[in-house]
A and B are shown apart, each in its own frame.
Chain A
Amino acid sequence: MIGLGKLGGRTWVVTAAALAVLLVANVILQHNFLEPSVIQSNLTTFLPLVLVAIGQTYVILGGDIDLSVGAIVALVNVVTVTVIAGLGGDGTAVVLGLLVGMGVGIGCGLINGLIIAGLRFQPIVTTFATSIVFSGLALWVLPQAGLPVPEPYWRTYAGTIVGIPTVYVIYFVAFLIATFLAARPFMTRLKAVGGQRAAAFQTGLNLGRLRVSAFALSGLFGAFASLCLTGETASGDPLMGQSLAMSAISAVVLGGTALAGGVGGALGSVLGAWVVGMIGSVIFFAGLPFEYQTLVQGLIILAALAGGVLVTRR
Chain B
Amino acid sequence: MPIATRVRLMQPVLRASDISKSFGAVHALEKARLTVERGEIHALLGANGCGKSTLCKIIAGTVGRDAGEVLIDGEPAALGSPHLAEEQGVALFYQELSLVPQLSVGENIFLGREPHTALGFTDRTAIVRETEALIARVAPVAGKGFVPDARVSDLSPDQRQLAEILKVLARKPKIIIFDEATATLDRRQVEVFFDILRELRADGVSSIFISHRMDEVFAIADRITVMRNGQTVAEFAASETDRYAVVYAMVGETGAIAASVRDHKPLEDTTRLVVEGVKAARLGPVSFTARRGEILGLGGLQGQGQKALLSGLFGAEPFLAGHVSLDGVDVTARRPADVMAHRIAYVSGDRARDSALPGRSIFENTAIASLVRERRHVIPGALFRERFAEVLAGLNTRYAGLDAPIGSLSGGNQQKVFISRWLSPAPGLLLLDDPTKGIDLGTKGDFYLLARKLADEGATVIIYSSEDSELLSLCDRVLVLNGGAVTADLSGDRLTPFELTQASYGDAA
Contact = CB atoms under 8 A, between A and B. Distances in A.
B120 A184 contact: yes
B178 to A, nearest CB: 14
Contacts of B81: 204
Contact of B100 (A183, A184, A185, A195): A195
A62 to B, nearest CB: 12
Q: Which of B97, B102, B121, B122 has the most CB of A within 10 A?
A: B102
Nearest to A206: B83
Given A183-B121, A204-B81, A199 B112 contact: no
Contacts of A184: 120-122
A200 B62 contact: no
A205 B120 contact: no
Contacts of B241: none
B476 interface: no
A262 B97 contact: no
Contact of A196 (B82, B100, B120, B122): B100
B111 A200 contact: yes
Nearest to A196: B100
* Interface size band for B: 20 to 34
A202 interface: yes
A192 B94 CA distance: 16
B117 to A, nearest CB: 9
A91 B82 CA distance: 51
B434 interface: no
Interface residues of A, number: 23
Interface string B71-88: 000000000011100100
Interface string B98-121: 111111000110011010100011
A312 to B, nearest CB: 12
B120 A204 contact: no
The B interface, classified by DSSP as helix, strand, loop or mixed, is loop
B100 A191 contact: yes
A140 interface: no
Contacts of B116: 185
Given A183-B122, A185-B122, A205 B103 contact: no
Given A199-B100, A203-B98, A192 B111 contact: yes
Contacts of B112: 189, 203-205
Contact of A204 (B82, B103, B107): B82
Nearest to B114: A185
A196 B101 contact: yes
A263 B154 CA distance: 14
28 contacts: A184-B122, A185-B116, A185-B120, A187-B122, A188-B111, A188-B122, A189-B112, A191-B100, A191-B102, A192-B107, A192-B108, A192-B111, A194-B102, A195-B103, A196-B100, A196-B102, A198-B96, A199-B97, A199-B99, A200-B100, A202-B94, A203-B98, A203-B111, A204-B81, A204-B86, A205-B112, A206-B83, A262-B100
Interface of B: 62, 81-83, 86, 92, 94, 96-103, 107-108, 111-112, 114, 116, 120-122
